[in-house]
Structure formats: structure tokens, C-alpha cells
Amino acid sequence: MTDPSADQEQTGVLYGAQTRLAIANFGISGWRFPRPFLHALGLVKACAARVNGELGLMPADLARAIEEAARAVADGHYDDQFPVDVLQTGSGTSTNMNANEVIATLARRRLGRPVHPNDDVNRGQSSNDVVPTVIHVAAVMELERLTGTLASLGGAIDGRAREHASVVKTARTHLMDAVPMTLGQELSGWAALLSEDLARLADTQRRLLSLAQGGTAVGTGLNTHPEFARRFAAAIAERTGLAFRPAPNAFAAIAAQDTAVELSGQLRVTALTLLKIATDLRWMNSGPTAGLGEIQLPELQPGSSIMPGKVNPVIPEAVGMACVQVVGLDAAVALAAQDNRFQLATMLPLIAFDLLQQLALLTGAVLALETQAILRFEADAEMLAQRAKRNPMLVTALAPRIGYERAARIARTALADGRAVIDVAREQSGLSEAELTHLLDLARAARPHEAR
């Protein structure tokens, strides 16, 4: 490749011939790699330069210039210099070369002498190990953000559960009335689901910390120093504070993207948890006169262009759409990851793009759900208790004493007459007032195993 410096000075671009060819060849989607990907790409190039300098594979001033230039890319100063479409060659070579060319130009300006994109910036590297490494590094850093917001949401839900620990309501199965429970118990279930999601994501994160870098083209490590992989992992671990390590088998790390698929699948599970919470909130908020009306979500904006005064559950709805998109992206990641013939997975750019979209969508959704729904809903404890008293399924507490059939008759009568279960039970159960009062106590029914 010829030095493109003269042309770059005229056009104001920092990239060179290979990037221009990619711009010309790939115009399918208009998608560009997001900031987390470019940040990780810059970090990878910076750490590679540092290690090459420490190993004596390039002059110290050259290594330093490349490292500084790559750090500037990582810090987001040159995002406009990465115009290549995501849908490109399946190894991501065009974007790797885009980075090499941009960094070479910046390093040349620092040194005042030529810096070669391949021989210098890409030394000891291949697109085939760089891009899988970038996927893992970017995903781990974004996963750190997501798990932080998930932990915060779980804590907020747990706090609201304790706040509503004594608020008795009617549970529902099949969307139909079931036995009493407390609102706190319902919320505790949501918090537990999120806790399980966090545990799954933490397990996946351990495998994301394993990096392909140092395997070069197919995993053999051709054209790199035998110490490069170990030193690179240590350098990027120091830079990020995350426990990165070389992949135990570079051939596997380059030939497939199983850990990315695993993460995507765990994000799908998390999305379904959030979708369940968002959907339950919508049902509980439904009304105000013809719905459940168990809680009131904050009134954030008008809900209709034709019906004055209508207010919709906009945050749960927006969260629901984000979750549905995450599930769809998971299917795309899985299909992209199956294109891993022989020694290379060849839909790496799409995997990176979709995985980072999933992480960003969930992080935003979790934050919105916590701050604009969970922390701000209000519950009508008195109304919930009154409904629970009229709930025919309260007879379930009588069944062990009077039998299923007699209890069912009491339930049908109470429902048909619009009467409280205890009033009908006085007439039909044959149980004493004291026993009825004990068995049909709402708090006892909701928490049957607590000492009283």
C-alpha cells in the first residue's frame, strides 16, 4: 500500500485506500459500528502496540505513537473516520483496516515519518483475532453497565416489595382470580427473576473474558511473538480493570462465536423477564374505571390525540418494544454465528452489531423501568383488600375442612349473589364463627406459613 498522506491532507480524512474501497463496495445497510465497538477496537490496537514495543518488535517511539493514536480512537475523538458499513466482509477486515489506516495517519503526524497500517499498526495481528477480541471486550464492558442497572432495578423492586409487604390483593392465574397474596410477594417474584438473570449473565461473563488475540489468522499465532497473547491480555486487563486472559484454545476462539451466542441467549432471557414485569405493570395499571386499577403509574404525557384526558402506560410499552427487539436480535445472532466454516466465523460484524444493540437496548429499558415506573407507582391498598374479601377463591382455605365440593358451592353462591365468602360460609359451611374468621383471614391466607 502506498502512503496516502498527500491525499489525506487534501480530503481531511484519516483513512486510506482500503477503507475507500470498502466504502465503495459496501453500501447495503447504512449501519455504522457503535461507540462501544470503536472504543474496544481502539483499546485493542493501543494494547497491541504497547506489547509490541515491550517485546522489542518495533522502536519505542513508534510503539508509543501508535498507542497514543489508538487511545485517541478509543476515546471517541475520531468516530467520524469510521464510515464503513457493518455489512461488509465477514471477518470485519475492512473495519480493522479502517482502524489501522486512521491510527497510522495519526501516528505519522506525531512522529513525522511514515507509519504503515499493516506492518506497524497491525503488527502481530489479524482481523481474524482482532474482531473476535473486540466483540468480547466491547460486550464485557457493556455487560458491566447492564448488570449495574439490573442490580439497581432489582434493589428498587425489593424495596417496593418490603414497602407493600402487608398489602393483600387477589392473585391471578390464567388471568382469572386466584387465592390471596400480598403485593410485596408479587414484587418479590420479579426481584428474584432479575437476580437469576444476573447470575446467568455473570456465568457467561467468565467466558467473555477469554480473548482470541494472539491467534492471528487461524489460531496458530503465525507472525506474532510467543509471549504476545499473554502480555496483551494482561495489558488490556490493566487498562479496563477486567480479568481478561488468553483463550485456552485460539483455534476455537477464532473458528466460532459460541460465547457471543450464549450472551445473546442470556440477554433474551433477561428481556423476557423485563417484558413480564412491564406487561404485569400494564395490566395492574389498566383502567381507570374499566380495568384492574390496582396501581397507578405516573402520568407522564397525554395518551391520545383524540381522547382528552387519556393517559397510557408509556414506559412499560416502550420497555416491551425494546425487549421484543432484543429477542429478534438474538435470532439474528444465532443465525450469524452458524456461518463458521472451518477455521473462521464469517459474520463477525453482524454479531458484534446485534449483540451491542441488545446490550444497549436492555440497559436503557432497565433504567427507564426503574426510574419512571417501579419507583413511582402507587397502590390502593384499601381497594385491593376489599376486592380480596369478595374473591370467591378465598374458599380454597376452607377446602381442607369442608371438602372441595362444598367449598365450590360456597364460591359459586358468593359469586352469583355478589356476597362476601365469609357471609355465605356462615350459612353453608357448618364451621364456627371463630374458625371461619381464622381460616378466611386475608393476611393468613396470603402468608399461611407465618406464625400467628
Q: Which of 174, 225, 264, 286 is catalytic?
A: 174
**What letter does residue 12 receive in the DSSP assignment?**
-
Within 242-307, residue ranges assigned H as helices are 250-255, 258-285
> If you write DSSP's letter for every residue of 112-171 in order, what string do you get?
TS---IIIIITTT--HHHHHHHHHHHHHHHHHHHHHHHHHHHHHHHHHHHHHTTT-EEEE
CA distances from 265 to 252, 253, 272, 362, 426 (A): 19, 18, 11, 13, 54
Provide the pairing of β-strand 210-211 with 245-246.
Answer: parallel
Cβ atoms within 10 Å, residue 58: 19
Separation CA 58–CA 354 (nearest Å): 36
423 is written with which cell numbers? 357471609
Catalytic residue among 29, 77, 166, 304: 304
Q: Which of 388, 116, 169 is nearest to 280 (CA)?
A: 169
Q: Where do the DSSP E strands lie in 277-426? A: 295-296, 378-379
Look up 304 and say whether it is catalytic: yes
Has 174 been annotated as catalytic? yes
Q: Hey, which residues does 211 pair with through a beta bridge?
A: 246
Closest CA to 442 of 388, 390, 393, 396: 388
User: Scanning the structure block, which residue is given the C-alpha cell 479502517?
Assistant: 98
Residue 220's CB: how many other CB atoms inside 10 A?
Answer: 13
DSSP, residue by residue, 158-212? HHHHHHTTT-EEEEEETTEEEEEEEHHHHHHHHHHHHHHHHHHHHHHHHHHTEE-
Q: Which residues are catalytic?
A: 174, 304
